[in-house]
Amino acid sequence: MPKGDWVFWLNVTNFALGAVVFLAVAAVAYAVVYDLVGKYKKAHSTANIDNEMAAMLQFGRTVPGLGVTMADGGDPIKSQPEHPEEKKPGRE
């Protein structure tokens, strides 16, 4: 084995390991930026949700006296009794 041959392979190995570390750092940086941009877009896409809900309720989604309608008609709401039930003895 020539004297300088091991130096060449040491440099090749160091270069290869450097490239792997660089690619790993680049992948992590890309994932972080991608996640932050996604959260930024999601936060700004739901900024006007209250205005959209008010507009939806204003135009055709409400029935006077019933409130918001449901696709299947919903379940009837049982009315509350006018007089509360009497207290049972022994309980306070």
- Choice between 87 and 1, residue whose per-residue pLDDT is larger: 87
How many domains does the structure of the chain reveal?
A: 1
Q: What is the pLDDT of residue 16?
A: 98
The reply to whether 50 falls in a domain is yes
What does the pLDDT look like over 22-61, one tens digit per residue? 999 999 999 999 999 998 888 777 766 777 677 666 655 5
pLDDT (mean) for 61-82:
59
Tell me what pLDDT residue 57 has.
64
68 inside domain = no
Q: pLDDT tier at 81 (50, 70, 90 boundaries)?
A: low
12, part of any domain: yes
Spatial CB neighbours of 62, under 8 Å, sequence gap ≥ 6: 68, 69
Say if 80 falls within a structural domain.
Answer: no
Decide: pTM greater than 0.85.
Answer: no
Give residue 37's Cα distance to chain centre.
Answer: 13
